Structure 1
Amino acid sequence: MKKIFLIPLMFLTFLSLTACSPTDDDLIVPETPEQPENPGNGNSDDNDPEEPTDPIPGGNGRYLVLFTSRSGNTERVANEIRDQLDCDILEVEPETAFETDYNAMLERARDELNAIQHGNFPAVKTSMEDFDSYDLVFVGYPIWYGSMATTMQSFLHNHSSKLEGKRIALFATSGGSGISSSAREAEALCPNSEILDQTLLLTSSSLSQMESRIATWLEEIGAHQEEPETPDQSSLSMAITVGDRTITATMEDNAAARDLLSRLPMEVTLNDYNNTTEKIFYPDPELELEGVTQGCAPVPGDITIYVPWGNLAIFCKNWSSSNDLVRIGHIDGNGIEALNVPGDISVRLEKR
């Protein structure tokens, strides 16, 4: 009789143990993040932003700085890169903002990193239509538990196909962790992009050197502000029409000459001054003089500004050196003969 009761008891015990045992999925975490077709929970597009986000534009359209930041450190680095390059910038933000409580944030970060290992990427509210206009994309993030912050992982995962063929430069901030693991994550997330070997990591001990460290890094990877194109000779050339004759002048590449050229065409009367030593007129407003070099000994054909009065003076004769004169151009060849006549003359000034 005891044996009959013992058999059902053993069977119930076996069922209980089986129900409480961990599965293989709970024990094994893959080392390389999986990439399901859809972000978020892997089976829906519901978390995708409805409209792409426009970066804040800079003057240099060759580069884009993407960053995500919780404490503000990565944002500081991103803004410094943007300032040094004068380029576009865009913050990548999570769908749900991170907790202000540090321990709660750490717990969420652990959960999201574990979810990414299983192919489930947390939702972000930032997206880009394309990256076609950029030569180089900077990607910045804090490092959590040795990994790239989950928000940026999601963004790269979502935009992997749009980043194909693009050069990507990684920068990160951390309390002391290295950047190599997150660089490998970037390579896995964007396998068809070129992840540059030269990365930038700023830790709590080196953040104070941010400006110089960034400048050195940008030089290493060949990123720089776009310099204005050197003007060709024609863009610094001016035509002066006197009656039926047109003479030319080659202008200096300085602020005053550029200012004058920007106002052309214009018709002015050149007043005779000091017995045809100079032909003068008064630009209104006065020409820009910031950064120009003062002082010259004018020769026939020199076009100058007399700083105390603000007048333009074209010299028809040699004159003594003066620190109050700024040379802004010279009449080509023997063209000064057309102006070296008594009395006032009317002329038309045009860019060539």
Structure 2
Amino acid sequence: MKKFLLIPFLLFAVFSMAACGGSDEEPSSPEQPGMSGQPDDGDGNDDGSDTPAPGGNGRYLVLYCSRTGHTEGAAQMIRTTLDCDILEVEPQVPYDNDYSSMLSRAQEELAGIRRGNYPAIRTSVEDFDGYDLIFIGYPIWHGSMATPMQSFLHEHAGKLAGKRIALFATSGSSGISASAGEARSLCPDATVIERALLLTSSTLPQMEGRISAWLDEIGAVREEPDTPDASSLKVNISTGDRTITATMEDNAAGRDFLSRLPLEVTLNDYNRMTEKIFYPSPALTTDGAARGCAPEPGDITIYVPWGNVAIFCKSWPHSNDLVKIGRIDGNGIDVLIVEGDVHVRIERQ
């Protein structure tokens, strides 16, 4: 008889917890059961600071905690979109795969935090120097920020002072406002931006689009390699007490040439002052650059079969073996129209 009474009681308890605070992970909502995956323990560094996995964009850091993988999926998508650093915040003792045990531990830890007792975590960061924006991601447990992330913010509040923080969370049905308030209380000297991202069980399928739109709203953009503008394509060519200027082409060969500067080379006279040439080592790339030109005085080219740079002092017929990489500005080529070799220094403006 006692068994029959126990079953309704357990069902009532589980649905009551979900109603009090749904989450995508622990505790999971009835419409979105928790997954059984468990994060790998890894080789945590208990005695020192952890090093985030680096990306190409060092302006941003993604910190996240996740048990079943939903928050981790969002964190990895942010990291991929921005090509930035990422680090998982892990509890000192991994969570049990058993759902009931997880519920019990989550409740105990949340109650402990209300008394000022934060559960131990394995993750620490020495400093946040250089980061313009720090993303904090977590599942919502019973309406609150997951306890490992609360512990992390509590322990690193001083190091996060003056930093900008962007919150993202996953939840079965609960809102994010309560956990945003917790973040502000835990890090009173940081700036938690108002626009947070919440992914619920009904919006997880649109994760990619929602993350992209959110990043645009908060001004987080991926850093792309600098594309030279008109001024950065300019170079100075000096010989003796004379300096002339040239403008390089915005193609692969021109950019490769610019990357080698400054250079000091001897321009050898070729074909009776038709052109002045030198051989860069290694040869400049010509991938993707248009081949073929009829050089005019002042044109800077590559003769592909030999790999030499040729600055033309006279006009020459069209050749499919020439790639134009720049041009001497104005009448500056007059400085190079002399008999014999010319020693020059070439540098960016």
- TM-score scaled by structure 2? 0.73
2:105 corresponds, among 97, 108, 112, to: 108
Distance (Å, rounded) in 1 between the aligned partners of 2:317 and 2:98: 75
C-alpha RMSD of the superposition: 3.2
For the 8 Å contact 2:143–2:174, the answer to whether it is kept is yes
CA–CA separation in structure 2 for the residues paired with 1:320 and 1:146: 77
SS at 2:170's partner residue? strand
Q: Deviations over 1:316-348 (max 9, x none)?
A: 234566666433222133221233356x63433
Name the structure 1 match of 2:299: 302
Identify if the C-alpha distance between structure 1 residues 112 and 244 changes in structure 2 by more than 3 Å, giving closer, same or farther. Answer: closer
- The equivalent residue for 2:268 is 270
SS across alignment from 2:109: helix
**1:89 alignment counterpart:** 86
* Match 2:280 to one of 257, 279, 283: 283
Task: Name which of 116, 119, 123 aligns with 1:119.
Answer: 116
Question: Is it true that 1:69 corresponds to 2:66 in the alignment?
Answer: yes
Structure 2 SS opposite 1:192 = coil
SS of 1:54's partner is: coil
Number of aligned residues: 302
Larger Rg: 1
Offset at residue 307 of structure 1 (A):
4.4
Match of residue 154 from structure 2: 157
Query: What are the ranges of 5 or more consecutive residues in structure 2 without an aligned counterpart?
Result: 1-44
Quick one: distance in 2 between partners of 1:173 and 1:297? 62
Deviation, structure 1 residue 125: 1.8
Q: Distance in 2 between matches of 1:126 and 1:98?
A: 15
Alignment CA distance shift 1:306-1:102 (3 Å): farther
Residue deviations 1:103-158 (CA, integer Å, cap 9, x gap): 32233222222222333211112223333433221100122223211100111122
The answer to whether 1:350 aligns with 2:307 is no
Aligned counterpart, 1:237: 235
In structure 1, C-alpha distance between the alignment counterparts of 2:205 and 2:303, rounded to whole Å: 48
CA deviations on 1:8-30 (whole Å, 9 max, x unpaired) are xxxxxxxxxxxxxxxxxxxxxxx
Aligned to 1:225: 222
Contact 2:267–2:276 under 8 Å retained in 1 = no
2:71, 2:169 within 8 Å by CA — same for their partners in 1?
A: yes
Matching residue's letter, 1:110: Q
Summarize the Cα distance change of 1:91–1:246 in structure 2 as closer, same or farther, 3 Å threshold. Answer: same
Structure 1 residue 301, shift from structure 2 partner: 0.5
How many Å separate the matches in 2 of 1:146 and 1:75? 19
Question: Structure 1 residues 110, 268: closer, same or farther in 2, change over 3 A?
Answer: same
2:343 counterpart of 1:317? no
Decide whether the 8 Å contact of 2:48 with 2:124 is kept in 1: yes
Note if contact 2:257-2:284 (Cα within 8 Å) is conserved in structure 1.
yes
- In structure 1, the residue matched to 2:190 is 193
* Separation (CA, whole Å) in 2 of partners of 1:52 and 1:299: 61
Q: Is the 8 A contact 2:195 2:218 kept in 1?
A: yes
Matched position secondary structure for 1:284: coil
Distance 1:300 1:209, change over 3 A: farther
Match of 2:145 among 141, 145, 148: 148
Q: State the distance in 1 between where 2:62 and 2:89 align.
A: 10
Q: Which amino acid aligns with 1:239?
A: I
Amino acid at match of 2:341: I
Comparing 146-155 and 112-121, the one that deviates more:
112-121
Read off the aligned partner of 1:185 and give its amino acid letter.
E
**Secondary structure of the corresponding residue to residue 121 of structure 2:** coil
Q: Select between 289-298 and 161-170 the one with higher mean Cα deviation.
A: 289-298
Counterpart residue identity of residue 109, structure 2: E
- Mapped to 2, the partners of 1:213 and 1:309 lie a distance apart of 53
Say if 1:310 and 1:207 are closer, same or farther in 2 by CA, change over 3 A: farther
Amino acid at match of 2:175: G
Q: Is the 8 A contact 1:236 1:253 kept in 2?
A: no
User: Is the 1:240–1:249 contact (alpha carbons within 8 Å) kept by the matching residues of 2?
Assistant: no
1:294–1:221 CA distance, 2 compared to 1 (3 A): farther
Unaligned runs of 5+ in 1: 1-47
